[in-house]
Amino acid sequence: MTDNNKRELTPFQEKWHTIIFEANTPAGRAFDIILLVAILISVVIVMMESVMPLQEKFGRLFHILEWVFTIIFSLEYLFRVWCSYRPKAYITSFYGLVDLLCILPTYVEAFYGGAHFLLTIRILRLMRIFRIFKLVPFLNESKQLSLALQQSKRKIFVFLFFIGLLTVVLGAIMYVIESEHNSGFTSIPVSVYWAVVTLTTVGYGDIAPITPLGQAFSALIMIMGYAIIAVPTGIVTVEMSRIRSREDVDRRVCPHCMREGHDANADFCKYCGNKL
């Protein structure tokens, strides 16, 4: 993509651009690995901070480490802006916003305080890992997976929409059956929640039918859910199988029109009609 809007970078900026935004140089790869480790450690700290006994014991250490990582990520953010070809585009991009969102909470907490839950936003740092994977070529597999999911997206959407309607109707029916005898089914939304818990075979048991009719109807819903799970499985399996078999396709290139994609049993090019 040729793009006239991109600004000129000094050779020094360009060198850093390669290191930070790309992964095909040793330095770029090293940068990604260091960033990955920093993200993982900082996320583990965020998680441990929420555990009361650990917070009481190591609270001070967590606090210091948190600031260390926040400063590291802040510097990284400024560096990305500085050596980007289109700084504005980076700042307003999805990953640019995530990058900002991952450092802001610490500053906001420091100035205003009390924003306990705000700090949890920092867990979104995990999403930054996906960018690293996008760059690193070693995970070719994830492409295939996401391709299969993308191609079955529409079918899965229709399926989930149908599941949504179904659970509302099933929940309402169970509300009528159970609500007078059971303290669990207090309203239709709660019954719909129960229907989802049951149909997906999660089955917490926090709400469970107690009337014979309710139990019989629940059993029907469960068996339905047991059979319905076949649908998304079928959708994804078929798409994956297609992607996989496309890979298998003969790698022969037509010597005349240079195009690929011939079947294994083809003798002539299907595009130009010449002998393969």
Closest distance to its own copies from the beta carbon of 166 (Å): 9
Q: What does residue 85 show for φ and ψ, rounded to 5 degrees? A: -70, -35
**Nearest residue (CB) to its own copies, 75 versus 258:** 258
The reply on whether position 45 binds its own copies by CB under 8 A is no
**Nearest residue (CB) to its own copies, 91 versus 253:** 253
| Measured distance between the N- and C-terminal CA atoms of the chain, rounded to whole angstroms | 34
For 267, which DSSP code?
Answer: S
Query: 268 has which bridge partners?
Result: 275
**Considering only residues 71, 142, 181, 255, which one is a binding residue for its own copies as defined by CB under 8 A?**
142
Rounded CA gap, 49 and 105, in Å? 14
**Nearest residue (CB) to its own copies, 135 versus 240:** 240
**Other residues' Cβ atoms within 10 Å of the Cβ of residue 214:** 20
Rounded CA gap, 274 and 113, in Å? 75
By rule CB under 8 A, what string of x and - marks binding of each residue 245-274 to its own copies? --------------x-xxxxxxxxxxxxxx
For 187, which DSSP code?
Answer: S
Range 209-238, binding its own copies (CB under 8 A): 212, 215-216, 218-219, 222-223, 225-227, 229-238
Q: Which range touches its own copies (CB under 8 A), out of 62-70, 92-100, 101-109, 190-198?
A: 190-198
Closest distance to its own copies from the beta carbon of 73 (Å): 17
**Nearest residue (CB) to its own copies, 64 versus 216:** 216
Rounded CA gap, 55 and 51, in Å? 6
The reply on whether position 193 binds its own copies by CB under 8 A is yes
**Other residues' Cβ atoms within 10 Å of the Cβ of residue 70:** 20
Range 76-135, binding its own copies (CB under 8 A): 117, 120, 123-124, 126-127, 129-130
**Other residues' Cβ atoms within 10 Å of the Cβ of residue 177:** 21
**Considering only residues 159, 211, 252, 253, which one is a binding residue for its own copies as defined by CB under 8 A?**
159
Classify 268 as helix, strand or coil: strand
Closest distance to its own copies from the beta carbon of 194 (Å): 9
Closest distance to its own copies from the beta carbon of 64 (Å): 20
**Considering only residues 3, 5, 52, 251, which one is a binding residue for its own copies as defined by CB under 8 A?**
52
**Considering only residues 111, 141, 183, 251, which one is a binding residue for its own copies as defined by CB under 8 A?**
141
Long-range contacts of 143-146 (CB under 8 A, 24+ apart): 144/240, 144/243, 144/244
**Nearest residue (CB) to its own copies, 104 versus 124:** 124
Contact 236, 149 (CB under 8 A): yes
